[in-house]
Amino acid sequence: MSDRQKLYEGKAKIIYPTDDPEVLLAYYKDDATAFNAQKRGTIKGKGEINCTLSAHLFRLLESKGIPTHYIDTPAPDQMRVKRVQIVPVEVIVRNIAAGSLCKQTGIPTGTVLEPTLVEFCYKNDELGDPLLTRDRLLLMKLATPEQLEAIETFSRQIDAILTEFFGECGITLVDFKLEFGITTDGQLVLADEISPDTCRLWDQSETDPNRRVMDKDRFRHDLGNVENAYEQVLARVVARLG
């Protein structure tokens, strides 16, 4: 896979075309970034872990009726996906207050959010992925009202499925980010990845606010043992979905 063939390179994945115009190959990188790429590093083995984990979770969601871009994994760090046009909206689903929500509102970390908060950000690195209102999203025509409604419905269904599943793994799903895409035949599907890069995951057997963190917050805030945490999430998921 040479540079020339790349269709697109993001912070965590490279997308390659395949012989089938409807199918793309996503290569998951070990590169890690945070705070809009102001912090950069490498998490050894992350590419394989996030690809494998995402594959398990996409299959779980598909089995529960959620359409996704997932096809298969020809290698541990490579995923074949349906070609989609990404909706330039990052959907943030929050069950428990953490991260930017706490910074921006003063709500204490760990506050249970009822009902679950679904937020939208504009997927635009130059602008720093700003929080959107529903009206701004529609004004900017980032999605149609029908697409937005479907995105919110799917996001809440995905939250219910993943919260239950991670709970069975002894992990609390605090919050996560989703991206959706439109296939060439117009279907809205879940895209991107679901991994410790894109979720906050707390170990239910730990009460210490640093020790419980099993996600990219370990990298963002220099908590150490980043690789171990990612491996532990994968091990628990594989033990259940194998």
Q: Which residues bind ligand TMP (CB under 6 A)?
A: 92, 98-101, 129, 175-177, 198-200
- Output phi, psi for 138, to 5 deg: -75, -40
Name the minimum Å distance from CB 175 to ligand TMP. 4
Name the minimum Å distance from CB 35 to ligand TMP. 8
What letter does residue 29 receive in the DSSP assignment?
P
Which bin fits 65, alpha (ψ -120 to 50), beta or left (φ > 0)?
left
- Which residues make Cβ contacts (< 8 Å) with residue 169, sequence separation at least 6? 233, 236, 237, 239, 240
Name the minimum Å distance from CB 17 to ligand TMP. 25
Name the minimum Å distance from CB 144 to ligand TMP. 24
Cα–Cα distance for residue pair 194/166, rounded to 1 Å: 12
Nearer of residues 46 and 177 to ligand TMP, judged by Cβ: 177
Nearer of residues 100 and 183 to ligand TMP, judged by Cβ: 100
Rounded to 10 deg, the angle between the 46-63 and 226-241 helix axes is 30
Cα–Cα distance for residue pair 203/215, rounded to 1 Å: 10
Residue nearest to ligand TMP (CB): 99
Name the minimum Å distance from CB 177 to ligand TMP. 3
Nearer of residues 71 and 162 to ligand TMP, judged by Cβ: 162
